[in-house]
Amino acid sequence: MKVATSLTACALTALLAGGASAATITFTGNETDFTSQGVPLLEDDGVDTQAFCDGLPLDIGKVYVTNDATNLYIGYQYARACFCDMNLGVAFNTRLGGRADDAFGRQIDWTNAPDKPDFMLYDVIPTGCNPYNFEALYEDSAGGWQNVSHQVNPNYDNGPSGFGSDGLGIVDTDGGNFVEIKLPVEVLSLDLTGGNCPTIGIEWWTTQEGGTKPGFDFVANDAEGRSTPSSTCFDVGPCPPSMPTIFANYLFDCATPARPSTLGRVKLLYR
């Protein structure tokens, strides 16, 4: 069962949101990085996509989320297999507003969502047929999705796009069947000081390179995944775009006092 509510319903959201005892996670690319620290499942998405090559290259399974004073830690089951050019998307709903379009131009439309993504992270993962890898984080702005990679790690690589492998200053460890992301809380414009323990919405999906690609698997929006155990629609046309409307909710644990943010805002060099 998926639990998701609009962030406008603050009391109900806090009641239903999944949380975890504050934990600092050391990444090794394994699910035990979270379970050994007592982090409970936020969601178990199960197996709900088509199998290929004796594997499930489009499927997201168990999802874990926790935090400490400065970082948000995310880990989820995802097995690389079969396909080149796989993209993993993560949307964050942290405040009212947000954008309905996809930051990478994929056929994922949030128009029907009461609250829309305020931040969107894409992870282009390396595969056996395409070793290219980078992570990019975007924030909703008046002019569209704005790349905030430079704010996280000014020592970016891979040229003027401003991000590269681990170019966000995050750690993205893929152990073959488990993906882990460490993201500074301040990058999401959240403040855990003063006993403030916010609830945010998060959604995950799998997709591929290209402007015709829908989401194949979602965690909170099962019906919008265009892959099922019996078939997959790889390109919009035969099927409609994915139109997610809800998020899985995470309630921050503020047991560990947070340090004040020192990041500040850095002027972007590129758009």
Quick one: average pLDDT of 51-56?
91
Give the model confidence (pLDDT) of 236-247 as tens digits: 999 999 999 999
- Per-residue pLDDT band for 171 (boundaries 50, 70, 90) equals low
Does the structure show a pLDDT above 90 at 223?
yes
- Per-residue pLDDT band for 2 (boundaries 50, 70, 90) equals very low
Q: Which residues are registered as beta bridge partners of 207?
A: 87
Class of domain 10-129+169-251: mainly beta
Q: Name the residue ranges covered by the structural domains of the chain.
A: 10-129+169-251
What letter would DSSP give residue 259?
Answer: P
What are φ and ψ of residue 246, in 5° steps? -135, 170
Quick one: average pLDDT of 85-110?
96
E-assigned strands of 133-177? 134-141, 144-147, 171-174
Q: What is the pTM assigned to this prediction?
A: 0.84
Q: Are strands 248-251 and 18-19 parallel, antiparallel or unpaired?
A: parallel
What are φ and ψ of residue 223, in 5° steps? -70, -15
